[in-house]
Structure 1
Amino acid sequence: MAHSEQVTAAVQTVDTVLSRMRALDTMLPARDGVAVFNRVYLTVTETVDRHIDSGRFTDSRAAIALDVRFAERYLAAVDAPGDEHRPPACWRPLFQFRRHPGVRPLQFALAGINAHIGHDLALAVVDTCRTLGCEPVDLEDEFDWVGDLLVSLEERIRDELMPGPDLLRITDPLTHLLGSWSLERARDAAWATARALWALRRLPDVAGEFTERLDAAVGFSGRMLLTPLPD
C-alpha cells in the first residue's frame, strides 16, 4: 500500500473506531468492568476527534493515525476472547475481574487506562511511525496533546467514579491503591518505551522480548489495581 493510501485508510477508520466503542457501550451491562473503561475511553476519543475536526492539531493526519492505531489495540483486546485468542497480558486482569462485586468502578477505569497507556500507547506510536513513514519525534506534539487531555480527564474520572466522601480517609484501601499509580508517570514511560522500541526495530528478537516483558509488567500492576475491596 502506498504512503498516501495508508493515510487515507487511517482517516477512514476513525468513524469505525467510534462506532465500535458506541456499540460496546450499548451492548455491555453498565457495571461490567470493560463497560466502565469503554465509557471513559469513548469520551476521550470523541474529544480528540472534535479537536481534530476543529484544527487544534498542527498535523491532523498524524493525530488521526495515532488516535486510530491506539484505539485498534484496545478493540483487538476486546475481540480476542471471541476470536478464541488470549488478550495481551496487560488486559487479562480487567477481563478476569470485570464482574467481580468487590471491585469498584474507579478501579476498572484505572486498570483499563493502565493497560492502554502502559502498554498499548507505546506500540501505537511505533505502529503510526510505520504507517506514516516517520520518526517518533515527528509525533511528539500529537502524543503530548493527547497525553495532556488524558491527564486532565483523570481528575474528572476520579470525581465521577468515587463511591463517596469516606474515601478521603487515608486509611481507606482504595486511597492507597490510587496513590500507587499515576497516569502522568505512565504517559512519560510510554514515550520512553516507544522511542526504545523504534530504536530496536531492526532487532526483532530483542524488541519482541522487550514488548513481552512490558506486557507482563503492566498486567501485574493492573492486577494490583483490581484488588477486591471491602464495602
Structure 2
Amino acid sequence: MKNISQVLESLDEIINETEKENNVLGYFAVLYRRVTWKVKEAIENRHFDDAERMEKLDVVFAERYIVAYYNYKRNLPVARSWQKAFDLATNFWPITLQHLLIGMNAHINLDLGIAAAKVSEGKNIENLKADFNRINQILADLVEEVQHNLATIWPPLGYILKHTGQVDNLMTNFSMQLARDGAWRFAKTLHAPQGKSYKDCVLERDIAVAKVADIITNHPPRIRFLIGVVRLGELGSVASKMRKLKKITS
C-alpha cells in the first residue's frame, strides 16, 4: 500500500469479510477504520508538522495489522500479541470492549513503535515526537468515545461497569498515556538499539505486550461473572453489533 486511501480499501475488505462471516475480529477492524479516517482528515487539515511523513507512518502502521490479520487467517505465524487478540475470537465469553482493547493493545503497544522507527530510519527520530503525540491523541479520543458509547450494544453495560468500577480498571490497565510513552520508548530503542539486534528488541517487546493482553482477559471469579452477565446481554449477531459500532464511530 502506498497511501491512506488504499489502507481504507483494505480495511473495508476486512470489515465486509468479517461481517459476512459473523466474525468478532470485525469489531477492531471497524474501530481501526475510524482511526485511519481521522488520521486522513488530520493530514488534509494540516494538523501534522509533516503530512507526507504521517501518511507514510499511517500506511506502515496499518500494514502491520492488515498483514497480521491475513497471516492468521492463512494459519501463518503472527506476533504473540496479535495471536492473543486473534485467538480471543474463538472464545464465546469476552465482551465487545475486551475484543477492542486487546486489538488496540497489540497495535499500539507493539506496532506503533515499529512504524515510528521505520519512518525515522536515517533521520533524527526526535523530529517525529510532536506528530507522534498528535496521532496518539487521536487514538486516545477514540478510546474514550468507544468507552462511553458501547452501551448501545447492551444498555445495562454502562451501569454495571460504572458501579463496579470495571471501566476504570480496564482503561487504567490500558492507559493511553502509558501506551503512548511505552510505544515512543520502544520506537527509540528500535531506532538506535543498544547492544541488541532489531529482531531481539521486537521479540522482547512482543512478549511484554502479550502479557498485557492477559490483564484485559483474565479477571477474578466475581468479575468474570459480571462480564459473563454482560456478554449474555449482548444480544444480536456479530454483524449487527458491527453495524452499531459503525454508527458509534461515524
Any unmatched runs of 5+ in structure 2? 152-156, 219-223, 230-250
Residues 134-213 of structure 1: pairs in structure 2 closer than 5 A: 134-162=123-151, 163-170=157-164, 176-200=169-193, 205-213=196-204
The range that moved more, 65-74 or 28-37, is 28-37
Alpha-carbon distance between aligned partners in 1 of 2:118 and 2:74, rounded to the nearest angstrom: 22
**Alpha-carbon distance between aligned partners in 2 of 1:199 and 1:92, rounded to the nearest angstrom:** 27
1:99-138 map, 5 Å: 99-130=90-121, 133-138=122-127
Q: How big is the shift at 1:171?
A: 6.2
Counterpart residue type for residue 192 of structure 1 = R
Select between 153-162 and 220-229 the one with higher mean Cα deviation.
220-229
Task: Measure the CA separation in 2 of the matches of 1:226 and 1:97.
Answer: 9
Aligned AA for 1:62? R
- Give yes or no for the alignment of 1:74 onto 2:65: yes
The offset of 1:175, in angstroms, is 5.2
Name the structure with the higher helix share: 2
Does residue 230 (structure 1) correspond to residue 228 (structure 2)? The answer is yes
Q: Go from structure 1 to structure 2 and tell me whether the alpha carbon gap of 1:177 and 1:151 turns closer, same or farther (over 3 Å shift).
A: closer
SS of structure 2 residue aligned to 1:45: helix
1:83 Cα deviation from its structure 2 partner: 4.1
CA distance in 2, matches of 1:127, 1:23: 26
**8 Å CA contact 1:94, 1:226 repeated in 2:** no
Residue 91 in 1 paired to residue 82 in 2?
yes
TM-score when normalising by structure 1:
0.85
- The CA deviation string for residues 19-55 of structure 1, in whole angstroms up to 9 with x for no partner, is 0111111221386332111111110100110121222
Q: Helix, strand or coil: the match of 2:19?
A: coil
Aligned amino acid, residue 167 of structure 1: L
CA contact (8 A) 2:4 2:36 kept: no
Number of aligned pairs? Answer: 216
Alignment RMSD: 2.1
Equivalent pairs: percent with the same residue? 25
Distance in 2 of aligned mates of 1:223 and 1:93: 8
Whether the 8 Å CA contact 1:119–1:190 is kept in 2: the answer is yes
CA change 1:158–1:171 in 2 (3 A) is closer
Q: Which structure 1 segments of 5+ residues have no match?
A: 1-9
TM-score by length of 2: 0.79
**Aligned with 1:91: secondary structure?**
helix
Q: What is the CA–CA distance in structure 2 between the aligned matches of 1:83 and 1:102, rounded to whole Å? A: 24
- 32 and 179 in structure 1: CA distance in 2 versus 1, 3 angstrom threshold: farther
In structure 2, the residue matched to 1:27 is 17
Following the alignment from structure 1 to structure 2, what is the Cα–Cα distance between the partners of residues 86 and 150? 27
Once the two structures are TM-superposed, the CA of residue 58 in structure 1 deviates from its matched residue by 2.2
For 1:98, what is the secondary structure of its paired residue? helix
